[in-house]
Structure 1
């Protein structure tokens, strides 16, 4: 049997929600459910973040997971994973070691990974080598500053999803974020691409466009991981 591919998971290092004073970070279920999928299929998972060390976990996502046994079990048993992440820049030039690059959401990525040059370079490196690149919920914010070979947006002409404006408004944080993700994605995919979303808020929506895989919201995290696993085995 072939050796299972490795997956690099990148978490935010940003811990404060704009000027609200509220804590933020990555969203628990958007790491827990993909991790369960990956490990159940024998994948090796490595966690990184821009600053390395402990990645901030959004406490509201822990509260939201009170009735989610997968997230609860992950939280109880795997704290060392997000409390000891590797510095992101250590992986530049090492995309050949991995079959996929995955970004969970939470509001944190909107503030740091959306503008992080190391993350942007890493995404470009993975994409150039035909590797799977994926994100869920606010995670697709990591793509907004990534450029293609000709200087155009990495997202130009692609099908993509991410947290909708209506969902951001529903949680009352549309004024706290630096930009509305749906609006920015629509702008960047351009006339030849398409932003897609579920019919209702918080319903699962996974979009696969070649090796680019995106999910709309927390309910989409498992589906994104399953799509990553399927694509990674063929990488």
Structure 2
């Protein structure tokens, strides 16, 4: 790997919010803040998605970031990044080229990355090579179906400490009956009795959980903290 560490960012290709007729996708601030911080720290960031090509940006996240200078600058200056993502399958067998893989949220990952076999294979590959695996908000949905490297076929998250978008936050967003599953419930189930799901004392507050090379963030407020943890995990290795 070169002196400039590389991060593979995986965006959703899913742009429809269940059967509501409303658009969804990835969440602006959850990519804008990590991208800005990582590139400022000398990282090279590559964007991929299950189908490649344009990755749908959730329009509600643009509205939510209307007063967020970092997100607005990213929106106007870096749009080519998500309009021409590489297909996920093109990165199979290439984990050695990267220091980390990162999954931003938005509701899109709940519908495609949660069950995408190529995404799951990539996560397995990165984890087996002791690379950083990170996700924020609904991004941890990409981790729930991943199997570990052990012979018992246990989940990758079994026995781990994680966080993600909480049931209370989903209910407040009014989408608890729209998503295919509640992320907090699924994470609790997957980590098992030996693991734990952690969350902030208050809804929407920052919460980042670091368990070795596994880094997860609870919500949009946690995106920058996840990026900071990625930098620490890579440079501190």
Q: Please classify the TM superposition score into its range, dividing by the shorter chain length.
A: over 0.9
Cα displacement (A) at 1:225:
0.3
Q: Which moved more, 1:144-153 or 1:37-46?
A: 144-153
Alignment partner, residue 5 of structure 1? 5
For residues 234 and 208 of structure 1, what CA distance do their matches in structure 2 show?
13
**Could you list the runs of 5+ residues in structure 2 that have no partner in the other structure?**
none
Alignment partner, residue 125 of structure 2? 125
- Normalised to the residue count of structure 2, the TM-score between the two structures is 0.98
Which runs of structure 2 are paired with 1:109-124 in the superposition (5 Å)? 109-124=109-124
1:215 pairs with one of 192, 211, 217:
217
Is 1:107 aligned with 2:107?
A: yes
Alignment partner, residue 15 of structure 1? 15
Q: Secondary structure at the match of 2:33?
A: helix
Alignment partner, residue 95 of structure 1? 95
Alignment partner, residue 38 of structure 1? 38
Q: Secondary structure at the match of 1:126?
A: helix
Cα displacement (A) at 1:213:
0.1
Cα displacement (A) at 1:232:
1.6
Instruction: Give every structure 1 segment of 4 or more consecutive aligned residues whose post-TM-superposition deviation is greater than 2 Å.
Output: none
Alignment partner, residue 54 of structure 2? 54
Cα displacement (A) at 1:233:
2.0
Query: Could you give the per-residue CA deviations for residues 103-160 of structure 1, whole angstroms, max 9, x where no partner exists?
Result: 0000000000000000000000000000000000000000111001231111100000
Alignment partner, residue 187 of structure 2? 185
- Normalised to the residue count of structure 1, the TM-score between the two structures is 0.98
Cα displacement (A) at 1:234:
3.8
Query: Could you give the per-residue CA deviations for residues 152-186 of structure 1, whole angstroms, max 9, x where no partner exists?
Result: 11110000000000000001000000000000000
Query: Could you give the per-residue CA deviations for residues 24-58 of structure 1, whole angstroms, max 9, x where no partner exists?
Result: 00000000000011011010000000000000000
Cα displacement (A) at 1:23:
0.1
**Could you list the runs of 5+ residues in structure 1 that have no partner in the other structure?**
none
RMSD: 0.7
Alignment partner, residue 166 of structure 1? 168
For residues 198 and 192 of structure 1, what CA distance do their matches in structure 2 show?
20
For residues 232 and 206 of structure 2, what CA distance do their matches in structure 1 show?
18
Alignment partner, residue 158 of structure 2? 156
For residues 148 and 78 of structure 1, what CA distance do their matches in structure 2 show?
35
Alignment partner, residue 25 of structure 1? 25
Alignment partner, residue 200 of structure 1? 202
For residues 34 and 121 of structure 2, what CA distance do their matches in structure 1 show?
24
Alignment partner, residue 139 of structure 2? 139
For residues 4 and 78 of structure 1, what CA distance do their matches in structure 2 show?
20
For residues 43 and 148 of structure 1, what CA distance do their matches in structure 2 show?
27
Alignment partner, residue 84 of structure 2? 84
Cα displacement (A) at 1:74:
0.2
Q: Secondary structure at the match of 2:234?
A: helix
